[in-house]
Structures are given as structure tokens and as C-alpha cells.
Amino acid sequence: MAPTATATAAEEQQHPRKALGLAAHDASGHLSPIHISRRNTGDDDVAIKVLYCGICHSDLHTIKNEWRNAIYPVVPGHEIAGVVTEVGRNVSGFAAGDRVGVGCMVNTCRTCESCEGGAENYCSRIVFTYNSHDRDGTVTRGGYSDLVVADARFVVRFPDALPLDAGAPLLCAGATVYAPMRRHGLGLPGTHVGVVGLGGLGHVAVKFARAFGAAKVTVISTSPGKREEALERLGADAFVLSTDDAEMKAAAGTMHGIVSTACTTAAVHPYLALLRPHGKIVLLGVPDKPMQVSAFVLIGGGKSLTGSSMASIKETQEMLDFAAEHGLNADVEVIGAGEVNAAMERLAKGDVRYRFVIDVGNTFSSLASAL
């Protein structure tokens, strides 16, 4: 990896603590070592030595500027797991040595209805963990780095029974599926739950649905090669190939709810047909084209189409505790810092089962020699 530019002088003045990261500098998305700066540990802050960071598909979208919002240089990563090295004087919930995580957000306005109601993930002034402007005007840098400093309000505790490497992706993928499934009662005992897409989010959704006690879990996919994986490896009860009219017809009207994790499904009519009356589809994946929805299908069956974004801090902590209690984590492939660009290429092709996780703690030191 060729070295790249360091933090700006303005950033260093506001954030004087040195850190090492991996950054993309343009839409090629190529990640290179970079010196970045972090703020000193404030009164309400927690300083964290990053040990692992999951690679989310959002990271790939952002470094390639596919959402047209990249603030280069971009240091991605919002599935951050590590240990506390220092806490501010106002922090009572964490101490040095604690195993902790930071997910998709690191700040909000704290005064709006969403924030005061425990749904800060819907704050209109949310500050994302990376590629976002923080309240002090600096740009946030994510967990592809060896150090992060975050407000304690946005830090969660890792239960002892949950491994940091396989648990890191739960901070995004796990929280994103857990919160709406709990909120909408998807996976309650006696229910039939469908999961569209068997990727980073989908495979965790299957695990949570089973742990919740769903009577039946069905994976719905366009890939026939996922059938054995869903049934034999992840323990789904059924598999429906969405491109097979006969299989879709046989499953019609059987599901209480569907979690859609796919990003390429613009036409939802076929999936609405799988629902029982008053069933609902929860959208988690973002299709690349406008969605096609028939009002008659919704009205005629009293069906619902809704969306969900991430999870609150309370929900994220609840999810981690639930996962630890039930021995649930993500299926991961742990990689070194020097393998990240190759992993991004594989991710773009869907060649991962099911989440890459960077071993920051053991491999980032090798990047220093390139700077």
C-alpha cells in the first residue's frame, strides 16, 4: 500500500492525538495508510484501542462515492470493537480494560423528539461514525484505525461471552435487523418470517428469527446456490427461489412478516404476495431504483411496507446481550490490514461469507512502516 496524505493542520489543532488509519482519497476506493488525528479524551469521552472492525457494504459505497456524499479522505468503519484505554472524569459506566464497541453513530442533537424518546438513530442531526461532520466541525473518521475517541453515550459494552471479532459486525448488521424485528414482532413464537437476501444482514436475520422462537424461517433469494447454505448451514426451515414462479406461488399468503435485506429489489409486489393478511415487509436494503408498489395489493390485504434504519443505543446494547445469551454472532472472515483492498474487490462481487472483519489490533502496526 502506498502512503497517503496526513491529517490537515486544522484537524490536528482540534484533535491533537495521533492515530493510524486506512483511507480512500478518491472514487477509486483504494485504501492506503494515513496519519489521522483524534481529540483528547474529554470529560464525557471514552478512548478505545481498536482491535477489530467489520467491513460493511456501506463502506464500499462510501469510499467509491456511489452515494455522492464522500468527504475525502474517507476512513471507513462503523463496526468497531476494542478495549477502553481511558475515560473522561464524567464517565461512570466504563473503565480502562472494558470490552466495548462503537456502531454507526457517534453524536446527535440530544434535544429533539427522537433523541429524547430513545430513538436517536432517527435524529435529523445525527453524526455518523465516519464521513460526517461532527458538532465541532471536524470530519468523523471510522474504525479502520487503531484508535477512536467517542462520547460515552454512543459506546456499548461487549458481554464477556461474545467474541470481539465475530461480534463486531453485530454493531451494524446485527442491530439493523434486530431492532425492527423486535419492534414489529417478526420472529415471535408461532410466526412465519421471511428473509429476503442472504448476505451480511440476511444471515444474521435468520439467526435472530430462530433465536426469537419463530415457528418457521424462510430464506428468499435470487441465487439457487444459497439454498443449501440457508437450509443446512444456517438452519432456515425453507428456501424460496424468487425467480421460480412455482416456488413463489406455493409460498403465497403464508408469512406474517418479511425482512428485506436485499439492495437490488425494486419490485416488491411478488414479496407482498407472500404475506398473510395484515402482514408487513420491513425494508433494510436500499434498492438502486425507485420501488414499484401497487396500492391495491397493500389495501386489499391490509398489508404494510415500512423501513428501518440502524438501531438506538439502547436497542444495540439489548441486541448484544441477547446475542451473547443465545450464543449468536456473525459468520466472519478475519483479514489483515494489507488484505483490505482485495477484500473490497471480493465484497463488490459478493464473494464473502458473510462479513469481512479487519484484525486491527494485530496487523495495523505493519502500516506504520509505509508512512
> Model confidence over 39-55: pLDDT tens digits?
999 999 999 999 999 99
For the entire predicted model, the pTM comes to: 0.94
Handedness of CA 202, 203, 204, 207 (dihedral sign): positive
If DSSP codes are grouped into helix, strand and coil, which group holds residue 177? helix
Is 143 within 8 Å of 225 (Cβ atoms)?
no
Q: What integer pLDDT is reported at residue 256 of this predicted model?
A: 98
How far, in Å, are 41, 161, 235 from residue 325 at the CA level? 32, 8, 19
List, for residues 127-180, the tens digit of each pLDDT value.
999 999 999 999 999 999 999 999 999 999 999 999 999 999 999 999 999 999
The three-point CA angle 291-296-298 to 5° equals 65
Tell me 153's DSSP state: G
Q: Please compute the mean of the pLDDT values over residues 56-82 and round it to a whole number.
A: 97
Rounded Cα distance, 155 and 163, in Å: 17
Asked if pLDDT for residue 324 goes beyond 50, the answer is yes
Asked if pLDDT for residue 338 goes beyond 70, the answer is yes
Q: What integer pLDDT is reported at residue 276 of this predicted model?
A: 98
DSSP E strand stretches across the chain? 17-24, 31-38, 45-55, 80-87, 99-102, 105-107, 127-128, 147-151, 156-157, 192-196, 216-221, 238-241, 255-260, 275-283, 304-307, 332-335, 355-359
Is 322 within 8 Å of 170 (Cβ atoms)?
no
Rounded Cα distance, 46 and 106, in Å: 11
Is 198 within 8 Å of 226 (Cβ atoms)?
yes
Instruction: Name the band, by pLDDT with cuts 50, 70 and 90, for residue 322.
Output: very high
Q: Please compute the mean of the pLDDT values over residues 23-50 and round it to a whole number.
A: 97
Instruction: Name the band, by pLDDT with cuts 50, 70 and 90, for residue 251.
Output: very high
Tell me 365's DSSP state: G
For the beta carbon of residue 202, count every other beta carbon within 10 angstroms. 27
Quote the mean pLDDT of the chain: 94
Handedness of CA 346, 349, 352, 354 (dihedral sign): positive
For the beta carbon of residue 245, count every other beta carbon within 10 angstroms. 10
Higher-scoring residue by pLDDT: 3, 233:
233
Q: Please compute the mean of the pLDDT values over residues 244-261 and round it to a whole number.
A: 97
Asked if pLDDT for residue 15 goes beyond 90, the answer is no
Rounded Cα distance, 238 and 244, in Å: 14
Is 215 within 8 Å of 190 (Cβ atoms)?
yes
Higher-scoring residue by pLDDT: 34, 263:
34
Q: What integer pLDDT is reported at residue 16 of this predicted model?
A: 87
List, for residues 211-230, the tens digit of each pLDDT value.
999 999 999 999 999 999 99
Q: Please compute the mean of the pLDDT values over residues 47-71 and round it to a whole number.
A: 97
127 strand-pairing partners: 107
Asked if pLDDT for residue 326 goes beyond 50, the answer is yes
Asked if pLDDT for residue 84 goes beyond 70, the answer is yes
End-to-end CA distance of the chain, in Å? 10
Q: What integer pLDDT is reported at residue 3 of this predicted model?
A: 45
List, for residues 281-309, the tens digit of each pLDDT value.
999 988 777 888 889 999 999 999 999 99
List, for residues 263-284, the tens digit of each pLDDT value.
766 678 899 999 999 999 999 9
Q: What integer pLDDT is reported at residue 14 of this predicted model?
A: 73
Q: What integer pLDDT is reported at residue 10 of this predicted model?
A: 59
Cβ-based burial of 223 (10 A; exposed 0-12, middle 13-18, buried ≥19): middle
Q: Which helix (H) or strand (E) holds 250?
A: helix 245-251
Rounded Cα distance, 318 and 313, in Å: 9
Instruction: Name the band, by pLDDT with cuts 50, 70 and 90, for residue 5.
Output: very low
Q: Which residues contact 300 (CB under 8 A, 6 or more apart)?
A: none
Q: What phi-psi label fits residue 345: left (phi over 0), alpha (psi between -120 and 50 degrees) or beta?
A: alpha
Tell me 366's DSSP state: G
